[in-house]
Amino acid sequence: MQKTNFWKDIHKPIFSLAPMEDVTDTVFREIVLSISHPDYLQVLFTEFTSTDGMCHPVGKEKVSHRLKMNESERALLKKMNVKLVAQIWGSDPEKFHRTTKMLNEEWDFDGIDINMGCPVKKIVKQATCSALIAFPDQAKEIIRATQEATHLPVSVKTRTGIKKHETESWIPHLLETKPAALILHGRTQKMMSDFPAEWDEIGKAVKLRDELSPETLLLGNGDLFSMEDCLSKIDQYKVDGVMIGRGIFKDPWIFNPDKKIPSTEEKIQLLWKHASLFVETWGKEMNFNILKRFFKIYTNGFYGAADLRAKLMETKCLEDVEKVLSEVNG
């Protein structure tokens, strides 16, 4: 059955988890799904996947793991009616077209998102992601090439400018292409994540959207660390929804505002579930050390957390993790 534009039917306000490198793989997405409330999480995104890699016979094998979806995740997505969007990046419109066709044929996503926001130097040096803000005509070509290759809705995630805010000149270019959704991070490329997000720029984009492409949904992103933050920004800036990034590290239960403060036992159980599923999913395909960036999410806010975290950072395999955790439970 051909999928329709889910953005048109999604209930508002919309809450989504940002695509993050070495974070939002199928394992972490499943963990987040398992503890979230379906009214407060409607859209998930994959890690960002290179169109250059996808269009290269050898490169495809190296990058396509970013698109992996476990059957257990798929079942949860269906049960909770949460949509999964593949995010892709690059600079060549033709490769966006080819990659999108592959996504149609070989994977089962609900939408395609184009990364025009990543500020990392080694990425923008390739004239990709947030560097495209300086090349609006190329950016529009990329969006249109992607739209032409799929029946799935195409969204764009971007920033407000490169060295300074260019919201009022940049955003209208994107809106010309009538994307299904536009996700705007309230920082420039230069600001990285080192300065507070400037939501007034997102407010400007909302007004431009209302005038130029009212059918495009607009989500705000930046400095959202609680559901209270999200609801406040939605109310103040009239966005259709929000995208949470680093806030998930402060509170993995952020998409479940009815949840009471989790107990130490619940945090430890979730850590073990995450570590077990990671090893079950990736085996030796992924470096075990990737897991360690997640340990601090679960080991905080209770007596002995710092000591436990230090011991977990010394682990080299799942058996080591089990031994450390058994000492806590013992």
Kindly report, residue by residue over 246-271, the tens digit of the pLDDT: 999 999 999 999 888 899 999 999 99
- Domains plus CATH for the chain? 6-250 (3.20.20.70), 264-329 (no CATH)
Q: What is the pLDDT of residues 277-311, one digit of tens each?
A: 999 999 988 999 999 999 999 998 899 999 999 99
Phi and psi angles of residue 233, each rounded to the nearest 5 degrees, phi first? -70, -40
Q: Give Cβ neighbours of residue 192 (< 8 Å, ≥ 6 apart).
A: 119
Residue 56: CA atoms inside 13 Å, Cβ hemisphere, count?
A: 11
- Residue ranges of alpha helices (H) inside 25-128 are 26-34, 51-54, 59-63, 71-80, 93-106, 121-124
Is the CB of residue 123 less than 8 Å from the CB of residue 89? Answer: yes
Please state, as a whole number, how many other Cβ atoms lie within 10 Å of the Cβ of residue 200: 13
Category of 302 on φ-ψ map: left (φ > 0), alpha (ψ -120 to 50) or beta: beta
> Any bridge partners for residue 181, and if so which?
155, 217
The secondary structure of residue 22, as a DSSP letter, is: T
Three-state secondary structure call for residue 112: strand
Q: What pLDDT, on a 0 to 100 scale, did the predictor assign at position 194?
A: 87
| Token duo for residue 154 | 């195409």
Listed in sequence order, the residues at least 6 apart from 45 whose beta carbon sits closer than 8 Å to its beta carbon are 16, 17, 18, 19, 24, 84, 85, 86, 87, 113
> What residues contact 57, with CB distance under 8 A and at least 6 apart?
none
Whether 160 and 126 have beta carbons less than 8 Å apart is answered as: no
- Alpha carbons within 13 angstroms on the beta-carbon side of residue 21 total 11
Q: Is 55 an active-site residue?
A: no
Q: Which amino acid is at 7?
A: W
Tell me what percent of the residues of the chain surpass a pLDDT of 90: 92
Rg (CA), the chain: 20
Rounded to whole angstroms, the Cα distance separating 12 from 7 reads 10
pLDDT in tens for each of the 330 residues of the chain? 567 899 999 999 999 999 999 999 999 999 999 999 999 999 999 999 999 999 998 989 899 999 999 999 999 999 999 999 999 999 999 999 999 999 999 999 999 999 999 999 999 999 999 999 999 999 999 999 999 999 999 999 999 999 999 999 999 999 999 999 999 999 999 999 889 999 999 999 999 999 999 999 999 999 999 999 999 999 999 999 999 999 999 999 999 998 888 999 999 999 999 999 999 999 988 999 999 999 999 998 899 999 999 999 999 999 999 999 998 765
The backbone torsions φ and ψ at residue 43, rounded to the nearest 5 degrees and listed phi first, read: -140, 135
pLDDT at residue 50, as a whole number:
97
- From the list 118, 129, 230, 317, the catalytic residue is 118
Given this model, what pLDDT does residue 260 score? 85
* Among 192, 243, 313, 256, residue whose Cα is nearest residue 85: 243
Residue-averaged pLDDT of the chain: 95
- Contact in structure between 170 and 136 (CB atoms under 8 Å): yes
The packing angle between helices 71-80 and 26-34, to 10°, is 40
At 327 the pLDDT is 84
**Whole-prediction pTM value?**
0.95
Amino acid at 259: K
327 Cα distance to chain centroid: 35
